[in-house]
């Protein structure tokens, strides 16, 4: 039985849990260090406010163990604030959180809430995915070994680097579950991962 | 506002869940709030406790003051307009505020009509004391609801009352037979479709925060355990002895609201809480504004 952990410090974590539940996958919430003791096969970094989540990761002593897990290959799906937490560099901001994703990310790249928008687009092998951008970031630049999965108006909005899937937008807010399924099938259930 | 925009506005509230929204009056306070882990700030000239003390008519803040706060932080910035004052709301939309609070904390500008929030692109949060009020505000276009509580008192009793009442009414609706919903819609003075949504889903169609009188980490956790999806803290932080420490403590209490060890730890050494006043001691009952 596959189990997905969802970082549940702040933001839209329940929506990701609902998405995985729809796919018949069990989830558990990470709110404090003891929660990391339970076994899980993948981690979700949900949308919310990256400053809040980043601060709480440190305060609750979750930061170092989670970063180690990501570096050791734990499959991670990050949306919006989660992308910011993974980024190696932020534009106009000296802060770096996990810094495991070789990408430069611009926060609030589309402006304030009035700039939030909805669109449909392709993401990797998936076509016509509904995408909600909420005060969203985008990826300004990424390393050559990072695969670009999706772009909107010339800006990178989804990437994959080995075990890390990072999205500017929110697939969890909409009933379309294909991206969550893609993550499970392509990144979590790989035979070499199961063997470990 | 199109349906899609309304959806995006409801979505922003979803991103705020599990967070604390703090009242701030200066860019410096906004920074302290952001560093302490606020998921958004409410920019206003005077916090409710001071509005209460000052008396008189209380209005939307100076847009320039709000802009100063927008520049100081990267988290969403909210601001209040008076109930029914759609021009104040237009001004707030013009400066690209992230959320407008059509708030009973300010003096109402209209004692009959609330703002037609569907006419705006920017999202609104509104206060409510019961399910009927909440659904009426949602019908008018509110993308987020909060309890009214009794602002500026540091007394959590009204927020508790409002949230408990809303939850009880939701539970009652869920247990009803389908053909009883029409009568309930009539009693609550709300459209049938909204009543039907609550009946089917057992919750409001938008995110619901607690507000009004939250002063301690324990208050915040109480509201979360009662089912709030996040907390507004108004006067409670910057009217206390050590705002930064109290703000951080409330943030942690909201994240781990059911972990008693965490709650005990963050409740230690916070210095003086805001001096509270009981609802019986005050002349101005803000929660009664706008029904």
CATH of the domain at A102: 3.40.50.880
pLDDT in tens, B80-125: 999 999 999 999 999 999 999 999 999 999 999 999 999 999 999 9
- A15 neighbourhood in chain B, CB within 8 Å: 14
Strands (E) across chain B are located at: 20-24, 40-43, 77-82, 99-103, 124-128, 144-147, 207-209, 231-233
pLDDT of A192 above 90: no
Cross-chain residue pair B252–A60, CB shorter than 8 Å: yes
B187 Cβ under 8 Å from any chain A Cβ: no
Chain A residue closest to B94 (CA)? A114
pLDDT of residue B52: 86
The pLDDT confidence band at residue B284, using thresholds 50, 70 and 90, is: confident
Cross-chain residue pair B17–A12, CB shorter than 8 Å: yes
Domain interval for residue A126: 3-193
pLDDT of B187 above 70: yes
pLDDT of B62 above 60: yes
Q: How many domains does chain A have?
A: 1
What integer is the mean pLDDT of B255-269?
96
pLDDT of residue B273: 81
What integer is the mean pLDDT of A115-120?
97
Cross-chain residue pair B74–A51, CB shorter than 8 Å: yes
Q: What are phi and psi of B272, to 5 degrees?
A: -75, 135
The pLDDT confidence band at residue B291, using thresholds 50, 70 and 90, is: confident
The pLDDT confidence band at residue A132, using thresholds 50, 70 and 90, is: very high
- B17 neighbourhood in chain A, CB within 8 Å: 10-12, 14, 48
Instruction: Name which of B37, B121, B256 is nearest A31 (Cβ-Cβ).
Output: B256
Give the closest-approach CA distance of B282 to chain A in angstroms: 35
Give Cα separations from B267 to A72, B38, B73, B252 (angstroms). 36, 18, 27, 10
- Give pTM, 2 decimals: 0.95
Active site positions of A, annotated: 80, 170, 172
pLDDT in tens, B154-171: 999 999 999 999 999 999
B90 Cβ under 8 Å from any chain A Cβ: no
Q: How far apart are the first and last CA of chain B?
A: 23
Mutant choice from A16, A50, A52 vs B, greatest count of B C-beta within 10 A: A52
Give the closest-approach CA distance of B291 to chain A in angstroms: 28
- A108 neighbourhood in chain B, CB within 8 Å: 74
Could you give the CA distance from residue B158 to residue B129 in angstroms, rounded to a whole number? 9
pLDDT of residue A191: 54
Tokens encoding B48: 């409710």
The pLDDT confidence band at residue A195, using thresholds 50, 70 and 90, is: very low
Cross-chain residue pair A60–B255, CB shorter than 8 Å: yes
Sign of the dihedral defined by the CA atoms of residues A134, A139, A145, A150, in that order: positive
pLDDT of B42 above 90: yes
Instruction: Name which of A56, A108, A132 is nearest B8 (Cβ-Cβ).
Output: A132
Could you give the CA distance from residue B209 to residue B128 in angstroms, rounded to a whole number? 10
Cross-chain residue pair A113–B35, CB shorter than 8 Å: no
Cβ–Cβ under 8 Å, residues B99 and B12: yes
Could you give the CA distance from residue A100 to residue B141 in angstroms, rounded to a whole number? 41
pLDDT of B279 above 70: no
Cβ–Cβ under 8 Å, residues A54 and B34: no
Mutant choice from A8, A9, A10, A174 vs B, greatest count of B C-beta within 10 A: A10
Cross-chain residue pair B97–A118, CB shorter than 8 Å: no
Catalytic residue of the set B4, B31, B80, B252: B80
Instruction: Name which of B18, B38, B259 is nearest A11 (Cβ-Cβ).
Output: B18
Cross-chain residue pair B17–A108, CB shorter than 8 Å: no
Instruction: Name which of A51, A93, A170 is nearest B75 (Cβ-Cβ).
Output: A51
Contacts of A122 (CB under 8 A, 6+ apart): A128, A129, A150
């Amino acid at each position: 039985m596959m189990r997905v952990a969802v970082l549940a410090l702040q933001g839209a974590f329940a929506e990701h849990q609902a998405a995985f539940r729809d796919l018949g996958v069990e989830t558990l919430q990470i709110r404090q260090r003891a929660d990391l003791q339970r076994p899980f096969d993948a981690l979700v970094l949900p949308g919310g406010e990256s400053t809040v989540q980043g601060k709480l990761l440190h305060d609750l002593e979750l930061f170092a163990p989670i970063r180690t897990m990501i570096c050791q290959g734990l499959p991670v799906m990050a949306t919006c604030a989660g992308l910011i937490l993974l980024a190696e560099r932020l534009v106009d901001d000296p802060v770096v959180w996990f810094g495991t994703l070789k990408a430069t990310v611009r926060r609030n790249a589309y402006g304030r809430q009035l700039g939030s928008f909805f669109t449909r687009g392709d993401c990797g092998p998936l076509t016509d995915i509904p995408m909600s951008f909420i005060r969203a970031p985008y990826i300004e630049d990424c390393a050559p070994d990072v695969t670009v999965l999706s772009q909107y108006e010339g800006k990178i909005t989804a990437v994959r680097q080995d075990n890390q899937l990072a999205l500017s937008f929110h697939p969890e807010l909409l009933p379309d579950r294909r991206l969550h399924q893609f993550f499970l099938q392509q990144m979590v259930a790989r035979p070499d991962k199961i063997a470990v | 506002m199109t349906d899609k925009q309304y959806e995006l506005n409801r979505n922003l509230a979803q991103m705020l869940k599990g967070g604390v929204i703090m009242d701030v009056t200066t860019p410096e306070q906004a920074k302290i709030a952001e560093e302490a882990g606020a998921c958004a700030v409410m920019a206003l000239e005077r916090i409710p406790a001071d509005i209460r003390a000052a008396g008189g008519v209380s209005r939307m803040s100076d847009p320039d003051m709000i802009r100063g706060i927008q520049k100081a932080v990267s988290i969403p910035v909210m601001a209040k307009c008076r109930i029914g004052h759609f021009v104040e709301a237009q001004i707030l939309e013009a400066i690209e505020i992230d959320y407008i609070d059509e708030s009973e904390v300010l003096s109402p500008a209209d004692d009959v009509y609330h703002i037609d929030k569907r006419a705006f692109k920017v999202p609104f949060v509104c206060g409510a004391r019961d399910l009927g009020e909440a659904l009426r505000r949602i019908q008018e276009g509110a993308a987020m609801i909060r309890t009214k509580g009794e602002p500026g008192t540091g007394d959590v009793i009204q927020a508790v009352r409002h949230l408990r009442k809303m939850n009880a009414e939701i539970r009652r609706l869920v247990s009803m037979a389908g053909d009883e919903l029409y009568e309930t819609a009539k009693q609550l003075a709300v459209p049938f479709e909204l009543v039907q949504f609550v009946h089917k889903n057992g919750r409001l169609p938008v995110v619901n925060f607690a507000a009004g009188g939250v002063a301690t980490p324990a208050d915040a956790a109480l509201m979360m355990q009662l089912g709030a999806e996040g907390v507004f803290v108004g006067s409670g932080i910057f009217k206390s002895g050590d705002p930064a420490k109290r703000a951080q403590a409330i943030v942690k209490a909201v994240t781990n609201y059911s972990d008693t060890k965490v709650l005990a730890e963050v409740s230690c050494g916070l210095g003086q809480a805001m001096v509270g006043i009981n609802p019986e001691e005050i002349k101005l009952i803000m929660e009664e504004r706008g029904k």
